[in-house]
Amino acid sequence: MDLRSNFPVGSPRWATRRTQWKALGLDDEDVTRPKIAVVNSSSKLSPCFSHLDAIADRVVEVIRDAGAVGFEIRTVAPTDFIMAAGGRGGYVLSSRDLLAHDIEAAVEGAQLDGMICLASCDKTTPGQLMAAGRLDVPTIIVPCGYQPCGVMDNGEVADIEEVFIKAGHVATGGITLEDLCTISDRAIKGPGVCSGMGTANTMHIMAEALGMTLPGAAPVAANSPAMWANAEASARAIVDAVLAQRRPRQIMTEGAFRNAVAAVLAVSGSINSVKHLQAIAVETGVDVDISRLFAELGNTVGPLTAVRPSGPDSIEDLEAAGGGRGVMTQLQPVLDLGAVTIEGRTVGEVLQDAPSPDAGVIRPLDDPRAPHATIQILYGTLAPAGSIVKLSATERRQDRFEGPAVVFEDAAEAIAAINAGDVSAGSVLVLRGLGPSGTPGMGMASNVVFALNGSGLTGQVAVVTDGQLSGLVNQGIVVGEVKPEGALDGPLGLVQDGDLIAADIPARSVDLLVPDRELERRRASRRRPAPQASGWLDVYARTVTPLEHGATLVSATAAQSRTQES
């Protein structure tokens, strides 16, 4: 077939590539075969990525056996718990886009014919899918699995999120340092991503719902026989996809994004999926408002599963019950069954062959774990472009909250005020300046939420922030990812101490109860400080689009124009 990686025999480009690749052990026949990038975000910084090298090696072997050549390429490996330490947390989300650019540089620069992406921690999957949408070369995602977690002497689960939560209790004496270290020692028992329904497992299931993995790929235990079998089958499938020229823009259609949103709602997935799906849509050139789609489908799709921390089930329970494919089987009435998958079959054809899920773990669409969607999109005078609240699938929380604002521009200052007793019950803690432009790169706000929990103020103090929240755990009324963010022109940047803020989840509203005239007066006198950043974060700050466009480095208009031209 006519491959873009091949150049006229005898030409300078052909000769130099042949010379380089023969030095790697390839022969003349290899040089003519499909050339596939094996995208590996291996890193020894975190167990999320520590097992990927062996997977990459095996994938390269299977690709060769299938008649093609696999070239392993490396990317940045973003991980919240490690890389959020510097740049006010800004390196985490921004590395998603850096990863997409890493892939572009290697795959486009070398004119490779396709790619197979080893998906692990939170930002790798969306970054890989963003690159797939941008480059539009045949691509398949391989979820590389969740980590085993530990158990305490009392039988309670110990995992990384439990460590994160309990760390917020140390300053107030809610837990001793010794007990925290005991949980920490037992929390992770092997490689892989966080074991609850956090962002990583949500992204793996989302990729399957988009049609970009093989059926039944997620969730899966890291280094399990099922993970290895899927990796090998995916290696064969990407060769077939390259030969058949099945491209991401044929797969990630508007209907596919609708399927992905439904799947995220059904598994009570991470709120971070909203911005990641929007970013993937922008890069793919699909004109869809993901927040509005969550709001629309939330009227129909409740949580069909209740995996920790949204409920009592484990990620292992979900995998055994049918996994993402089982969830989609229950969702068929609201899915676009005509959407095409990477293996060439439609979603309807895939689900026709799927085994029936365990309805005790994956409920039918008309019998969800809770009557409400666990991802709620709130609009209002404080968030005219939207905001997000995450609810539990099994616990009832407050529906409404109104109180005076206590404003902070920095998470550390907010935590210090909480620990000093300077944040009173009945107030609304406003934490701003953590958005993609303000940090820049988007700072983490969950540590403030956990500090409130450690001080016994959960449910007594609401939180409103433009920052990023943990994909797993939020407690009390927490309104996150307020748009426009505080660093841009919008109401959040105008809030002052004492302003009344009202959040009403059933009404899906969050409002700043300040007269328009007063807000206009504040807007006229406001002076926004320029982000203080250098290096990569400075580049990001100068080019990132607003969060409602996915916080990408390409505008929705530019992406759509590029699609029309192609």
Phi/psi at 543 (nearest 5 deg)? Answer: -125, -15
The string of DSSP letters for 249-293 reads HHHS-HHHHHHHHHHHHHTT--THHHHHHHHHHHHHT----HHHH
Helix, strand or coil for residue 548?
helix
- Give 286's contacts (C-beta < 8 A, 6+ positions apart): 252, 253, 254, 257
Helix, strand or coil for residue 322?
coil
- In the chain, the amino acid numbered 97 is D
State how far the Cα of 559 lies from the Cα of 153, in Å rounded to an integer: 53
State how far the Cα of 434 lies from the Cα of 470, in Å rounded to an integer: 14
State how far the Cα of 297 lies from the Cα of 295, in Å rounded to an integer: 6
Cα angle, residue 321 at apex, residues 319 and 325 outer, rounded to 5°: 70
The string of DSSP letters for 478-501 reads EEBS-SS-TTSSSGGGG--TT-EE
- Environment class of 371 (CB within 10 Å of its CB; exposed 0-12, middle 13-18, buried 19+): exposed
Helix, strand or coil for residue 10?
coil
Q: Note whether 147 and 158 are within 8 A (CB).
A: no
Q: Which two structure tokens, joined as six digits, stand for 494?
A: 């105008």
State how far the Cα of 438 lies from the Cα of 53, in Å rounded to an integer: 36
Instruction: Please give the helix or strand (H or E) that residue 315 lies within, else none.
Output: helix 315-321
In 3D, which of 124, 151, 138, 167 has the Cα closest to residue 63? 138
Cα angle, residue 89 at apex, residues 85 and 91 outer, rounded to 5°: 95
Q: Note whether 539 and 432 are within 8 A (CB).
A: no
State how far the Cα of 456 lies from the Cα of 438, in Å rounded to an integer: 30
State how far the Cα of 123 lies from the Cα of 48, in Å rounded to an integer: 11
357 DSSP assignment: P
The torsion defined by the Cα of 50, 223, 201 and 131, in degrees rounded to 10, comes to 60
Q: Which two structure tokens, joined as six digits, stand for 552?
A: 């990408």
- The residues that are catalytic are 470
State how far the Cα of 11 lies from the Cα of 404, in Å rounded to an integer: 71
